[in-house]
A and B are shown apart, each in its own frame.
Chain A
Amino acid sequence: AQSVTQPDIHITVSEGASLELRCNYSYGATPYLFWYVQSPGQGLQLLLKYFSGDTLVQGIKGFEAEFKRSQSSFNLRKPSVHWSDAAEYFCAVAVSYNTDKLIFGTGTRLQVFP
């Protein structure tokens, strides 16, 4: 069965520092991968997605993610974090292209210190 693991429950960084949030997936075929962000009291906003092609994907708000098939990973990165990036981040995999069903990781809460 498909699964997504986000090993880091909580990460704290200083504003301006670089960020990497880890995501590992378990899926037999080519995965469809997503990163979402959720601010307190809000729904989910899509940051970026990977379906195929270039393994380095650019998203909104200066985020990028790299798909590494050999490591079953899809880590999210940002070179310089802003205080407004403080939120919870979810990695997800779609079970197939023809369904909306997403399997989410448990999330990583990002705290940003000034």
Chain B
Amino acid sequence: KAGVTQTPRYLIKTRGQQVTLSCSPISGHRSVSWYQQTPGQGLQFLFEYFSETQRNKGNFPGRFSGRQFSNSRSEMNVSTLELGDSALYLCASRPQGYNEQFFGPGTRLTVL
């Protein structure tokens, strides 16, 4: 099986722009979560989706949003980018009934 794929792998944006990151879970996985990783704050939970419903949300401003589609693919959007949004954004998927998340390689976002 192919692993979790994230596109794009690298992205450079300027302050004030918006960005959309994509995550394709492992085939058959219906749960998708997103994490932000920065040197200063470490790994922080962003969102959790299951069957197109957001089940949990981390402590991030409203500029961060996400969604999940009927094929379980997920996107996250960050609007009005700030320098502090520069980070590695990791997506993870999980098979139903099994408490192990499989992480993708991440999208490295740089905000200039």
Q: Which of B12-20, B63-71, B78-86, B102-110 faces chain A?
A: B102-110
Q: Is the CB of A49 within 8 A of B48?
A: no
**Least CB distance, A49 to chain B, in whole angstroms:** 7
Q: How far is the CA of A99 from the CA of B100 in the complex (A)?
A: 11
Q: How far is the CA of A31 from the CA of B103 in the complex (A)?
A: 21
Q: How far is the CA of A105 from the CA of B37 in the complex (A)?
A: 12
Chain B stretch 13-39: residues in CB contact (< 8 A) with chain A? 31, 33, 35
Residues of A within 8 A of B8 (CB): none
Q: Is the CB of B94 within 8 A of A100?
A: yes
Residues of B within 8 A of A100 (CB): 31, 33, 48, 55-56, 92, 94, 101
Q: Which of A12-20, A37-45, A61-69, A70-78 faces chain B?
A: A37-45
The B contact surface, by secondary structure, is strand
Q: Is the CB of B100 within 8 A of A49?
A: yes
Residues of B within 8 A of A101 (CB): 33, 45, 48, 56, 58
Q: Is the CB of A51 within 8 A of B99?
A: yes
Q: How far is the CA of A99 from the CA of B35 in the complex (A)?
A: 14
Q: Which of B35, B44, B99, B104 has the most CB of A within 10 A?
A: B99
User: When the two chains form the complex, which single residue of A32, A41, A46, A104 contacts B42, counting CB atoms closer than 8 Å?
Assistant: A104
Residues on B lying within 8 angstroms of A by beta carbon are 4, 31, 33, 35, 42-45, 48, 55-56, 58, 90, 92, 94, 99-106
> Can you list 28 contacts pairing A with B, beta carbon distance less than 8 Å?
A32-B99, A36-B103, A41-B105, A42-B105, A43-B90, A43-B104, A43-B106, A44-B90, A44-B92, A44-B103, A45-B103, A46-B100, A51-B99, A94-B99, A100-B31, A100-B48, A100-B55, A100-B56, A100-B101, A101-B58, A102-B43, A102-B101, A103-B45, A104-B43, A104-B44, A105-B42, A106-B42, A107-B43
